[in-house]
């Protein structure tokens, strides 16, 4: 039996404002295997970020359900939802979204603060991950003292630190030059293989999707096409 880490079932999202209603997603269904490196592609305004917000439990579908590791997410609220998000999900953003006033290693420690761990354990886990991502000599620097590519690697370490099942990355290479962008993609590919984490990335760059084993094309809020190369 195939193990799916993410199952999107007939998901629709309607944004209602005073003036208009927008059908941002219409009856979208797909499933991703555990450890898949997936891309979501499509024109601007097609619903990619909306889908990422739903997958990240930041927002809820108007109808349909999203399962992560077999758990339905749409009815979760409050501390249950916060705990689920912290334990199961990791986020990587286009603009890195690191906390600027503190060091790289402290940024990576942040998601572990809610775990029952002693401080030295948190520190060694953060430092170990940053070293694996090639930042052993940058632990004590603040984000503003790092290059864009280095900041994104800190963000990836932060996303990985609680051993999530799913990492969500909206345009993770959008602010990077080609070389740093390629490095991020190579890291993602590596992480999927070695740690069996599922990664979903939104990208505008069709070149980058050749590294992915599942590509989801969204058009006008609908699933237009799927490519699977498992
Ligand atoms: N909070 C909101 N309220 C109302 N409409 C919204 C909201 N967020 C997004 N939309 C609309 O939903 C549609 C999909 O937007 P979304 O941000 O998901 O697109 P996208 O595919 O991520 O685009 P891009 O590639 O430009 O980032 C758009 O028509 C947008 O105007
Ligand atoms: Mg978007």
At residue 2, the pLDDT reads 72
Q: How far does residue 192's CA lie from ligand 2's centre (Å)?
A: 23
At residue 132, the pLDDT reads 92
Cβ contact 115:86 at 8 Å: no
Residue of minimum CA distance from atom 2 in ligand 1: 15
Q: How far does residue 119's CA lie from ligand 2's centre (Å)?
A: 37
Taking the C-alpha atoms of residue 146 and residue 142, their distance in angstroms, rounded to an integer, is 7
- 214: Cα separation from own chain's centroid: 15
Q: How far does residue 47's CA lie from ligand 1's centre (Å)?
A: 6
CA atoms 55, 57, 60, 66: torsion sign: positive
Residue of minimum CA distance from atom 30 in ligand 1: 45
At residue 115, the pLDDT reads 87
22 CB burial (10 A radius; 0-12, 13-18, 19+): middle
Q: How far does residue 125's CA lie from ligand 2's centre (Å)?
A: 32
Question: How large is the greatest C-alpha to C-alpha distance in the chain, in angstroms?
Answer: 53
Domain ranges of the chain: 4-102+144-228
Distance linking the first and last C-alpha atoms of the chain: 15
At residue 37, the pLDDT reads 97
Alpha helices by DSSP H, listed for the chain, are 48-55, 78-88, 104-109, 119-132, 148-160, 178-195
Between strands 214-219 and 37-41, the pairing is: parallel
4-102+144-228 CATH: 3.40.50.300
At residue 3, the pLDDT reads 82
Residue in 146, 164, 130 with CA at minimum distance from that of residue 35: 164
pLDDT in tens, the chain (230 residues): 678 999 999 999 999 999 999 999 999 999 999 999 999 999 999 999 999 999 999 999 999 999 999 999 999 999 999 999 999 999 999 999 999 999 999 999 999 998 889 999 999 999 999 999 999 999 999 999 999 999 999 999 999 999 999 999 999 999 999 999 999 999 999 999 999 999 999 998 888 999 999 999 999 999 999 999 98
At residue 1, the pLDDT reads 63
At residue 145, the pLDDT reads 98
Residue of minimum CA distance from atom 5 in ligand 1: 15
Q: How far does residue 6's CA lie from ligand 2's centre (Å)?
A: 20
Q: Of all atoms in ligand 1, which is nearest to the CA of residue 51?
A: 18
Residue of minimum CA distance from atom 14 in ligand 1: 47
Q: How far does residue 222's CA lie from ligand 2's centre (Å)?
A: 15
Name all residues whose Cβ lies below 6 A of ligand 1: 15, 17, 22, 24, 42, 44-50
> Which tokens go with 62?
């108007």
Mutate to test the pocket of ligand 1, among 11, 20, 22, 222 (most ligand atoms within 8 A of CB): 22
Long-range contacts of 13-18, Cβ-Cβ distance < 8 Å, separation of 24 or more: 13/47, 13/50, 13/54, 13/59, 13/61, 13/62, 13/221, 14/62
């Amino acid at each position: 039996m195939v193990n799916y880490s993410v199952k999107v079932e007939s998901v629709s999202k309607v944004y209602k404002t005073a003036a208009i209603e927008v059908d941002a997603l219409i009856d979208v269904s797909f499933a991703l295997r555990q450890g898949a490196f997936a891309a979501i592609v499509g024109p601007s305004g097609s619903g990619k970020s909306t889908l990422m917000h739903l997958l990240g439990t930041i927002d809820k579908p108007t109808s349909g359900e999203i399962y992560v590791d077999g758990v339905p997410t749409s009815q979760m609220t409050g501390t249950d939802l916060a705990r689920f998000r912290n334990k199961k999900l990791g986020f990587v953003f286009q603009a890195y979204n690191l906390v600027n006033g503190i060091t790289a290693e402290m940024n990576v420690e942040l998601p572990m603060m809610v775990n029952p761990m002693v401080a030295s354990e948190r520190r060694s886990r953060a430092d170990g991950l940053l070293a694996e991502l090639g930042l052993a000599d940058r632990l004590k620097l603040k984000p503003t003292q790092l290059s864009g590519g280095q900041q994104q690697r800190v963000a990836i370490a932060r996303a990985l630190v609680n051993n999530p099942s799913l990492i969500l990355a909206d345009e993770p290479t959008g602010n990077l030059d080609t070389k740093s962008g390629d490095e991020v993609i190579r890291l993602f590919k590596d992480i999927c293989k070695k740690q069996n984490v599922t990664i979903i990335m939104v990208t505008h760059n069709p070149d980058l999707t050749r590294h992915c084993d599942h590509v989801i094309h969204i058009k006008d809020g609908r699933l237009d096409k799927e490519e699977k190369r498992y």
